[in-house]
Structure 1
Amino acid sequence: MDAAWFEAKQPVVGIVERTRTDGSDDADTRSIRVDDALEATLESADATSVCGDLEAVLAAEPSLLVAAGESTLSAVARANPDVPVLPVGNVPGIDAVGHDTLPAALEAALTGDGTIRQRSVLGVDVDDTTRDSERSPVRALFDVSLVTDEPARISEYAVSSRGDLIATFRADGVVVATPAGSHGYASAVDAPHLSPAVDAVAVTPIAPFVMQTRQWVLPEDGLALTVERNDTAVRLVVDDRPVATVPVDATVTIAVDGTLSMLAVSETMLESD
C-alpha cells in the first residue's frame, strides 16, 4: 500500500555511490553528482547530505537514501535499511527519476510530496549440508537464477510451490523474478511481466530443451528449486551476483524476506517545478 512520507526536521540525505557487480551492465552508468541544483535543494529544505559507499552512508543514519542503477539498488536491498530510497536512472521495473530531474524529485520528497511504495525482497537460501546452517538468506530485489557454468550444457531442474511439485524440465537454467525483476533480465527469456500490485513471482526456464516448456506465476513464498541432474556445475545467481554452487539434490528455498521502501514522485510534481 502506498503511503506519504515526510521528514520534519533537518533531514539527512544519503547519496550512495554506484555499486557494480562482476559482469553487471546497468543501462544507466552515471553516478549522482552533488551539483549546484542539488545543493540548492538541500539548502532550501534545511537538509544535509552524506556521500560515499553504502556502509559509510548508513553509518551516518540518513533520513532517506538516493541510489542510482540496478546494482546499487540491489546492494541497498541486501543491507535492509529502515529508511526509504529514491531510485535514480534507467532501471527496468522500477519507478525511478532521471538524473536531470533529481533535484526537483528530491525537493518534492523533502517537502512531503513523495509517496512510499513497498517492493518485496526475496530471501534465498540453500539447504545443503556443506553450507553453514547459521548463514542468513541472501536477499534479492530483482531475480534469482540457477544457471549452468558452461553455456549450452543442459541440466534438469524441479520447481515446487508450497510443497507441491509444479514441474521438472531440462534447460540451461531457471530464473525466478520479482515484479521488478520481471521487466529486466527475465524478460529476455520471455518471462511474464508482473505488476507490483501482485504478490507473486515469475518462474521461467532458461533455454529449455523442450521449447513448449511452460512459464509460471507463483506465490512469492514457499518456492523451492532443485537441481535434479547436472553434467556441469550449477551456480546460484542472486541479482546478478554469483553466490554459491548448488549440487544435485540441494534445495534452494525462496520466500519473502521483508520489503524495500521506495520513494516515488509524480510526474506532475516534476513538471510543475
Structure 2
Amino acid sequence: MSDSAVGVVGDPAVGDRLREAGASVVAGTVDSVPQTERVVAVGETAVRAVAVADGDPLVVPVAAGRGVRSVARESAPAAVAGLADARVEAHPLFDIATAGSAVGTAMYDVTAVTAEAARISEYAVETATDVVGQFRADGVTLATAAGSPGYARRIGGPVLAPSGSVGVIAPIAPFQTNPDHWVVSLDGLSVSVERDEATVTLYVDGEAAGTVACHDSVTVQRTGTVRLAVVPESLSRFQ
C-alpha cells in the first residue's frame, strides 16, 4: 500500500484491518475528522461527517449504502490499495434554511413531515425558475442522488446516478391516488407549508432541524461538493 496516511472515521475495527494490511492510519471520529488527503468513512453518518467537515479529502465509503457506492468492510484494504486508479464521483452538498435561518447541510435528503399521526398538511414546491406542484400529504422528501436509494425510494421515487444538483421530490402518503414524483435541480428549490393544520417537522439527513410554520419556506442552495472514490470493490447503486 501507499505510504500516504489514510484517515478512518466510523469504525476503529476497519482501521485495524487497514493497519494489518500495511496502511498508515490516522484514527478520527465524526466530531474530529482527520486532515488527511484520503479518508475511509464507515457508515452513512461517517460519510456525512467527512463531507461537511473542513477540507476536501477523497472519501472511501464503507458499508454506507448504495447511494455512495460503498465497499464492504472486508474489502476496505483492497479499496484503499487501489485508490491511485480510482474514479472520482462528485456529490453536491446543500445548505438548508427555513424562514431565512440556516438549519443544516444536506448530503442525502431533506424531509418536511407532519409531527402528529393521521394529520396531513399542504405543500408547495418551486424550483428557481418554475412551479413544480402543490399537494396535500403527510410530508415531502427532497433527495439527492446519494439519498435517492433511501427513504425516497421506499415511497416511490427513482434511484438516480449523480448529475450536478439533480434530485428527487417525493410526496409522503399524498392525498391522491396517482401521485407525481419529480426529478429536478435542487439548487434554488423551495418548499412551503400552505395550511396551518398541523405542526411540520423538518429533518436534514435524518436529524430533526426544527419546525416549519405555515407560509414559511424551506430553501435549498448548493454549497459545495464531496469527492467519493469508485474502485472495483464499489457496489452498484442500482442493485
CA distance in 2, matches of 1:186, 1:66: 26
- The residue that corresponds to 2:56 in the other structure is 82
TM-score normalised by the chain length of structure 1: 0.79
CA distance in 1, matches of 2:195, 2:51: 32
Extract unaligned runs of 5+ from structure 1: 1-7, 19-30, 269-273
Residues 88, 102 of structure 1: 8 Å contact kept? yes
Matched AA of 1:150: E
CA distance in 1, matches of 2:104, 2:144: 15
Percent identity between matched residues is 36
The count of residues paired between Structure 1 and Structure 2 equals 234
CA distance in 2, matches of 1:165, 1:57: 40
1:80, CA displacement in angstroms?
Answer: 4.8
- The residue that corresponds to 1:33 in the other structure is 14
Give the structure with higher Rg (CA).
Answer: 1
- The residue that corresponds to 2:86 in the other structure is 114
What SS is found at the alignment partner of 1:105? helix
- The residue that corresponds to 1:265 in the other structure is 231
Residues 42, 49 of structure 1: 8 Å contact kept? no
- The residue that corresponds to 2:237 in the other structure is none
Matched AA of 2:120: I
Matched AA of 2:78: A
Matches within 5 A, 1:74-223: 74-109=48-83, 112-128=84-100, 133=101, 135=102, 138-197=104-163, 199-223=165-189
Residues 91, 164 of structure 2: 8 Å contact kept? no
What SS is found at the alignment partner of 2:183? strand
Matches within 5 A, 1:2-17: 10-17=3-10
TM-score normalised by the chain length of structure 2: 0.89
Residues 149, 233 of structure 1: 8 Å contact kept? yes
- The residue that corresponds to 1:271 in the other structure is none
CA distance in 2, matches of 1:81, 1:203: 30
1:54 to 25, 30, 34: 30
1:212, CA displacement in angstroms?
Answer: 2.2
- The residue that corresponds to 2:216 in the other structure is 250
1:266, CA displacement in angstroms?
Answer: 1.8
What SS is found at the alignment partner of 1:212? coil
Matched AA of 2:7: G
Shift of the 56–250 alpha-carbon distance from structure 1 to 2, 3 Å rule, reads same
What SS is found at the alignment partner of 1:56? coil
CA distance in 2, matches of 1:80, 1:214: 38
The more displaced of 198-207 and 232-241 is 198-207
Residues 174, 203 of structure 1: 8 Å contact kept? yes
CA distance in 2, matches of 1:144, 1:251: 13
1:145, CA displacement in angstroms?
Answer: 0.7
Extract unaligned runs of 5+ from structure 2: 235-239
Shift of the 146–54 alpha-carbon distance from structure 1 to 2, 3 Å rule, reads same
The more displaced of 247-256 and 194-203 is 194-203
Deviation digits for residues 107-131 of structure 1, max 9, x if unmatched? 111xx12222111112211125xxx
Shift of the 152–72 alpha-carbon distance from structure 1 to 2, 3 Å rule, reads farther
The more displaced of 188-197 and 95-104 is 188-197
